Homo-oligomer: A and B are copies of this chain.
Amino acid sequence: MDIQPTKLVQELKPYTPGEQPQEPGFIKLNTNESPYPPAPEVLRALETYDLKSLRLYPDPLCMRLRSLLAIKHKVPMDRIFVGNGSDEVLRLLFQAYVSEGETIAITDPTYSLYPVLAHIFGAEVKTFPLDHEGNLPRFPDLSPYRLFALANPNPPLGTFYPLGQVESLVKGAPSTLFIIDEAYVDFAEEDCVDIIRRCDNAVITRSFSKSCSLAGIRVGYVMGPLDIIQCLYKIKDSYNVCTLSQLAACAAIEAEKYYQEKADLIKAEREFLTGELRRLDFKVYNSKGNFVFAETADGKALYEYLKERKILVRYFDLPGLRNGVRISIGTHEEILALVQAVRSFIPSLRDKSRS
């Protein structure tokens, strides 16, 4: 007799992360990793750690890391929760605050994990389409929604919504929990941290994966009201963040100058790529992330064409996204190689539209 999972799990269509090719030789512009290595301070911290101490459990409460984050953001450390990547943080927020049958709200498009998390915990999803430039629409009353997950900058388009606009949304629906997902905020010009100083119904999530070049260590965090942070600590796995990951994240916080320089390089490269692709007649959204979304006649054809040439970008087989690809910002050499490949793709595109 087979053991059947819960109905929710049976019906779930899981999230698909971007490819992590096992063979070498790819220019990897598909999962928004940084093209630059972690800061020298991070490498040194890992190199000088006494690896013998890995026999011991990690600090279950990430006290040192939270105290450094508290200083960085000027937020009390008991209002900060650290998780195994911001994916764990997001999952715990849904688990703690979303009950079966409730409805959560997201924009369309957005980070495609949000609807999966909603479905894992049995919630319905209401989507609000972004406008043609990727900006927020005029929203109706958001009070009926248990939770609103808003990425800012918002992948895969990368559009950014100013603090004032986001704060108005948060204040307009005080019984709705707003998750403001700032995984990409270090590539933007401002952030929304001030909202959690003024509102009790919002949290800010962050990640070390992108701007800190530490996708491999899995550290993310959330800042928000004390009672929400305490709830997450109640339900998390006991030792959710590895010892070496805590160590690397602490060192990264102290390498602000290095990471600021790298973020500036990535932003400059993003503007360069945006310009080049527009000159090739792609529609490119104004992105404040470390990626751009470029629309053409056929996103899948471009994705496959580039993959054959050992350049990986991200294609989303989702309504509204099939005519484009998301391109992570790499080094200048990588972006030049991409632009050249895209340029060589255009004739085949024209052939296609002629045929």
A interface, CB within 8 angstroms of B: 1-3, 5-7, 9, 12, 14-15, 17-18, 20, 22, 28, 31, 33-38, 42-43, 46-47, 51-60, 63, 84-85, 87-88, 91, 95-99, 113, 120, 174-175, 177, 200-201, 209, 213-218, 225, 227-228, 231, 233-235, 237-245, 248
Contacts and interface: CB of A to CB of B under 8 A. Distances in A.
Copies in the complex: 2
A248 B55 CA distance: 12
Contact of A9 (B57, B235, B245): B235
A183 to B, nearest CB: 13
Given A3-B228, A55-B36, A209-B57, A217 B242 contact: yes
A219 to B, nearest CB: 9
Given A33-B56, A97-B5, A177-B3, A88 B237 contact: yes
Contact of A6 (B12, B97, B240): B97
A99 B6 contact: yes
Contacts of A217: 54, 242-244
A139 to B, nearest CB: 19
Contacts of A242: 216-218, 242, 244-245
A36 to B, nearest CB: 7
A227 B43 contact: no
Given A174-B1, A239-B17, A57 B6 contact: no
Given A237-B84, A244-B242, A213 B55 contact: yes
A35 to B, nearest CB: 7
A99 B42 CA distance: 43
User: What 7 pairs across the A-B complex have the smallest Cβ distances?
Assistant: A216-B243, A37-B52, A54-B216, A55-B213, A17-B238, A57-B215, A14-B234
A38 B57 contact: no
B57 A46 contact: no
A154 B2 CA distance: 27
A257 to B, nearest CB: 18
Given A200-B1, A217-B54, A217-B242, A85 B9 contact: no
Contacts of A98: 6
Given A85-B237, A120-B235, A244-B242, A216 B3 contact: no
A185 B218 CA distance: 29
